[in-house]
Amino acid sequence: MSAFLDKYVAYGGDAEGVMDRFMGDEELLETCLDQFVAGDDFEVLKGTIEKQDFNAAFECAHALKGVVGNLGITPLYNTICVLVEELRAHDYTRVDEHLADVIAKQEEFVVAYEGMK
């Protein structure tokens, strides 16, 4: 395993699963992670929740869950699943708290990813 993947696993990433999905192409994974980190999807999610547009928030969170899952970012995936299920159930009592958890995990990943490179 490469030094990058060793650090990815140490962070909590699912290197085995992601390498299966990416057919062993580590360069492609890094390119996708670069795009993920540079994207504004979490700001969009935050905006939909601030506007209380919970249908759009669900769609955004659900799409992010898929991306994060495909990228094998397990700690963030586990956190965003909680938010997705809360939105799916139309239970908005703790949505701000769960969004804060998601944003914190996303920021944690960005910092960790910079250290992987």
Total domains, the chain: 1
| Residue indicated by tokens 């928030």 | 57
Contact by Cβ (8 Å): 109, 42: no
- pLDDT at residue 117, as a whole number: 85
Q: What is the pTM of this model?
A: 0.93
The DSSP call for residue 4 is H
Is residue 22 left, alpha or beta, with left meaning phi > 0 and alpha meaning psi from -120 to 50?
alpha
**Residue 100's domain spans which residues?**
3-116
Average pLDDT over residues 4-29: 96
Per-residue confidence band for 1, with pLDDT thresholds at 50, 70 and 90: confident
d(CA 106, CA 39): 11
34-80, pLDDT tens digit by residue? Answer: 999 999 999 999 999 999 999 999 999 999 999 999 999 999 999 99
The CATH number assigned to the domain holding 31 equals: 1.20.120
Amino acid at 17: G
Neighbours of 106 (CB within 10 A): 21
- Mean pLDDT estimate for the chain: 97
Q: What 3-state class would DSSP assign to 117?
A: coil
Does the pLDDT value for residue 14 go beyond 90?
yes
Judge whether residue 31 has pLDDT over 90: yes
Q: Concatenated DSSP letters for 31-76? A: HHHHHHHH--HHHHHHHHHHTT-HHHHHHHHHHHHHHHHHTT-HHH
